[in-house]
A and B are shown apart, each in its own frame.
Chain A
């Protein structure tokens, strides 16, 4: 659905731009290609690493590791898995729901979801290209601390 909106918006704007100024539009397309090609090597590498990792860590394995009574260890594990991999949300949420059903705690799940979305060790090379090493590391660290806080809050206090 979103993809259609995206392509629709792009087409409309592209046509509008083309009818107004062909030269500028060509320049825009050239810039688009240049910046796309620029991140391709990192992106390909990232996708390969994610593919390899997800093939090893299947659903059953994650469920058994984050299961009930896994406590702090399960929390730490959730953080590690979540920080390394980047799984799109529409895969992550159903996975989280099935993990909850399988007996995982809210703390572990919150840790998993939050680090999954905000901390990306594998994608750091892409991030560094735009923000530099130091700021990239800081952003990921802050996000990680935040993940710990919200997991303890939701898992340890509210959904106890």
Chain B
């Protein structure tokens, strides 16, 4: 009984939007159908990419010691750690919301906040497959200009974010990651 209550509580927003979508389907069949088709397509894509990411994260969590990750990307990892975080984000695929669980594990393993933000920025903007795609649809010079701006932007945002995160907030974030 307790379990069911918990599940209902966790999925309540999903239920609300599902009902809204069903109402739309009832009043505007075309629109409602289109909406469900798009949702199904996105769901399929998500279910393709996300499970292996989580399995890899699980393996990383079990096998890689916190000390190892801290050495590579922790507080004293310097420019090498930043570069590694950036490359890690660029090599990834999937939408930005898939990056957050990965960031959570990085935090759990004691990676420096600045490097985690770099990782998220790189995941969002400088992914390699996307760059190839951008060249083919918008041209090389546009891609190149945007890429250079993005490089500066990502580093700047990560720097400002780390500076803007107060000590107690920082502790809270690392604490939250321990529960993963």
Whether A41 touches B13, Cβ cut-off 8 Å, given contacts A52-B35, A118-B121, is yes
- Tell yes or no: B78 within 8 A of A by CB: no
Q: Is the CB of A6 within 8 A of B49?
A: yes
Contact residues of B: prevailing secondary structure: helix
Contacts of A153 in B (CB 8 A): 149
Q: Is the CB of A90 within 8 A of B14?
A: no
Q: Is the CB of A6 within 8 A of B52?
A: yes
Question: Which of B11, B35, B107 is the one whose CB lies under 8 Å from A51?
Answer: B35
Return the chain B residue nearest A49 by Cβ: B17
Total contacting residues, chain B, CB less than 8 A: 77
- Tell yes or no: A61 within 8 A of B by CB: no
Bound-complex Cα distance A142 to B139 (A): 27
Bound-complex Cα distance A126 to B46 (A): 14
Chain B proximity mask over A117-135: 1 for CB below 8 Å, otherwise 0 = 1101001001101111011
Q: Is the CB of B101 within 8 A of A10?
A: no
Chain A proximity mask over B97-109: 1 for CB below 8 Å, otherwise 0 = 1001101100100
Whether A139 touches B117, Cβ cut-off 8 Å, given contacts A17-B59, A24-B62, A96-B137, is yes
Whether A120 touches B58, Cβ cut-off 8 Å, given contacts A51-B38, A90-B133, is no
Bound-complex Cα distance A93 to B14 (A): 29
Whether A93 touches B93, Cβ cut-off 8 Å, given contacts A135-B173, A154-B145, is no
Q: Is the CB of B61 within 8 A of A31?
A: yes
A residues bordering B, Cβ < 8 Å?
Answer: 1-3, 6-7, 9-10, 13-14, 17, 24-25, 27-33, 35-36, 39, 41-52, 54-56, 86, 88-90, 93-94, 96-97, 100, 106, 110, 113-114, 117-118, 120, 123, 126-127, 129-132, 134-135, 138-139, 142-143, 146, 149-150, 153-154, 158-159
26 residue pairs from A and B, CB less than 8 Å apart? A2-B93, A9-B56, A10-B52, A14-B59, A17-B62, A27-B58, A28-B62, A29-B58, A31-B61, A31-B62, A32-B54, A35-B101, A41-B14, A42-B13, A46-B97, A49-B17, A51-B35, A54-B38, A86-B95, A123-B96, A126-B97, A126-B100, A130-B173, A143-B124, A154-B142, A154-B146
Q: Which 10 A-B pairs have the closest CB atoms?
A: A51-B39, A32-B58, A28-B58, A55-B35, A97-B137, A55-B34, A51-B38, A89-B130, A28-B62, A10-B52
